[in-house]
Each structure stands twice: as C-alpha cells, then as structure tokens.
Amino acid sequence: MSTETAASVSTHVLDTGTGRPAAGVPVRLSARSGRTGGWQELGGSATDADGRCRDLPALPEGTTHARLVFDTETYAATARAAARRDAPALPDGESGSPVFFPEVAVAFAVVPGEHCHVPLLLSPFGYSVYRGS
C-alpha cells in the first residue's frame, strides 16, 4: 500500500508586452513516471481573466515529471484581434507579425505531495518561466 500523495500543478500567464494577465491561453498538462517514460496527456484548461488556470487535472500517483504546453499562438491571435479593434486598420493583405513562439512547452520534476506552481511570463519574442509559490 502506497503512502505517497500525488503532486499538484498550477500556473498563470502574464503578458509582459501589455503588462496584464494573459486571458484565454489554452494549456495542456501531461505527466510521466521516470526520466524515459512516455508522456501521458491528462487534459487541459485555459487561463481566466486573471491569467490563471485554476482547474488543471490532478497528477497520478507515481508521477516524476510533468509538462505544461501553452498554446501561445492562439492567445497571440486573440490579443492581436483585440488590439486591432482599438487601432487603425492594417492595409489589405496584412495580418500583423507572425508568432515567433507558437507554443511554449515546460517540463519539470515533481515530488510526491508537493505543489508546483509554474508561471509563464510572455512577450512577443521571448518568454520566461520559474518555480512559483
């Protein structure tokens, strides 16, 4: 009988280009057991108005690594559309600059019973992640 408690994961996304939370970023969570185990997709969510995913699936017992994949291309398209509503129209045929990072995948080690909070700071041509609290 195992006495381990599964780890848990949360995240939030901040758009450093706008200085605001990034709402509507699709996020998928995967897990694996061991360094060479295959990734098992557990499900996903999307960031809320505060840029937070509050309902990511639980990690199964025995998970040693987790991975968050952020669909930044979908977010960027939505953010550009919102910006165009408030800005002068682009000339015909122009849709704005392409997304340099269409997705951000972050893999990290987990310890049974610990909570992992992994924030993403996002800008048009860069991103940063860290272990939060």
End-to-end CA distance of the chain: 30
pLDDT attached to residue 90: 43
Query: What is the tens place of the pLDDT at every residue in 40-62?
Result: 999 999 999 999 998 999 999 99
Domain boundaries, the chain: 8-86+95-113
Query: What is the tens place of the pLDDT at every residue in 60-75?
Result: 999 999 999 999 999 9
Is the confidence at residue 2, as pLDDT, over 60?
no
Architecture of domain 8-86+95-113: Sandwich (2.60)
Cα 115 to Cα 117: distance, rounded to the nearest angstrom: 6
Is the confidence at residue 117, as pLDDT, over 70?
yes
- CA 122, 98, 76, 41 torsion: positive or negative? negative
What is this structure's pTM? 0.84
